[in-house]
Amino acid sequence: MQHRRVVRPSFHKGVNYFDINYHRGPAWYAGHFPLRRTANRRVPPGTQPVVFEASGYYMFHPLALERAVRDLPDVKLVAMLRDPAERAFSAWKHETARGYETEPFMVALQREDERLAGERERLVAEPAYYSFAHRHHAYRSRGEYLDLLQPVTDMVPRSQLHIMYSEDFFAEPDREFAALAGFLEIATQEHMEFERFNARPSTSMPQEARDYLSDHFRTRRAPLEEFVGRVAPWPRVP
C-alpha cells in the first residue's frame, strides 16, 4: 500500500469475493476498487496503477483460486507461507480471541477432521454454501501448502505465482519486497516501512501439540521446498 504505483481497495484489503461473496457478481467486486481515472491520478505521471487485494481464505477455499484465474487470467498471485505449526497455533489464538473457538489447542487439532468432514465436498457441490468450520476450524489443514498451491500451476503458468516465506520477509524485508516488486514488474521503492501486523501476545504451544504437528509436517517439507525453489526457514525436527 505504500508503493507509489500500488492502489489498494477502497474499503479494506480483504474483499473475500472469490471465496464467500462470489454469488454477488463481478460488479459487486469491481465496486471495491477505485475507478480507473481515480487510480490513474494516484500514481506517478506516465505509470500505470497496480491494484491488489489480500484475502486470507482464498488459498484454502476449494473454489476461490479457480474462480480468480478464470475471471482474471492474467492475475498475479502472491502467497506468503509461515511455519505451518506456528501458523496453526497462531490461527487457534486468533479464533479463540474472536470467540469462534472454545476448545484447547490440542483438542481442536484432534477434532479437526471431524469438524471438517464433508465440508470441502459440500463447498464444491453447492457454490453458495458457507462453512463456518471450514473457514475457522482448519488449523493443520491450512498449513498443507503444497496441496493448496500445486493445483494452481495446472490453471496458470508457474510464473504467475510468487511464493514468499514470512520468516524471510520479517528477517530481510527490503530484499524480499524487492523480489516481490520484480515479480509485479514495478520498480522497488526506497523508504518503505515494514511493520508486523496480526501479532498476538506470545504464549507457548503445548508440547503435545508441537510434537503432533511436527510429525504431521515432517515429510511434507522437502516436496514443498522443491516446489517453491527455496529452503524453508523453519526449524528442522529430527
Tens of pLDDT, residue by residue over 165-188, are 999 999 999 999 999 999 999 888
pLDDT confidence of residue 193: 81
Q: Is the pLDDT of residue 236 over 90?
A: no
Alpha-carbon distances of 32 from 25, 27, 187, rounded to whole Å: 12, 9, 25
Beta partners for residue 202, in sequence order: none
Give the pTM: 0.91
Alpha-carbon distances of 102 from 33, 130, 218, rounded to whole Å: 36, 20, 28
Alpha-carbon distances of 161 from 51, 67, 141, 166, 180, rounded to whole Å: 16, 15, 21, 16, 11
In the CATH scheme, what is the code of domain 56-228?
3.40.50.300
Domain map (residue ranges) of the chain: 56-228
HEC profile for 73-87? CCCCEEEEECCHHHH
pLDDT confidence of residue 194: 80
pLDDT confidence of residue 77: 97
Check residue 139 and report its DSSP letter.
S
Q: Is the pLDDT of residue 132 over 60?
A: yes
